[in-house]
Amino acid sequence: MLTLEFHCHTIFSKDSLTSPEKLIETCRRKGVDRVVVTDHNTIAGALAAQKLDPQRVIVGEEVMTTGGELLAAFVTEEVPPFLSPHETIRRLKEQGAYISVSHPFDRLRSGAWREEDLLAILPQVDAIEVFNSRCMNPRFNREAQVFARRHGVAGTVGSDAHAALEVGRSLLLVEQFEGPDGMRRVVPSAILKTRLSPLWVHFLSRYAVLYKAWVRS
């Protein structure tokens, strides 16, 4: 079995200060076998991390659409933000990417989805995120789990780590796999290991945003 971190960020996201080097070091230390690096609207951090550890790192992206955020793994070409959900999915599917839906019911984030919009894209995605360690209200994760069971869709989980200390809080335990089709095969039978992060980790993200603004000024 492999431990798979499906959702994490590096310094290439505006609200993270984790370097690709620190991310890889942390994954090795914590025994995370595969990590999908999903920076906001860019694959630059994932590509940098993959150069450091090609076997461990899967290039991903968290893309903001006009309907909510999508998570993608095995991305080969960056998809710009603020396209319609259907256009974003079309571009990702052209690459063969594995597509999940970020924290779909977390209404405290700008990337949350309206249920009718989520239902409209459901036939086109591979999974939805049924547990996100950074959800401040546990109810949001429970709603995602109920929705996934009701509609028979696979579930991913992720730490949504913006700081290295968060990496590995939520993991998928999966069989050995290769490529997006292999991921489609193993995720439905994955064992989920999940833990919520403490609320104070959100202050780390806020600090990252302010620090970067200060450096640029």
Residues 44, 46, 47, 52, Cα dihedral to 10°: 130
Eight-class DSSP state of 155: E
pTM: 0.97
Residue 205 has phi, psi (to 5 degrees) of -65, -40
The CATH number of the domain holding residue 190 is 3.20.20.140
137 is in which domain, residue-wise? 2-216
Is the predicted pLDDT of residue 30 greater than 90, yes or no? yes
111 pLDDT above the threshold of 90: no
Interatomic CA distance for residues 175 and 134, integer angstroms: 26
Confidence category of residue 110, pLDDT binned at 50, 70, 90: confident
Q: Count up the domains in the chain and report the number.
A: 1
In angstroms, the CA 84 to CA 159 distance is 26
How distant is the alpha carbon of residue 78 from its chain centre? 15
pLDDT digits (tens, 9 = 90+) for 127-179: 999 999 999 999 999 999 999 999 999 999 999 999 999 999 999 999 999 99
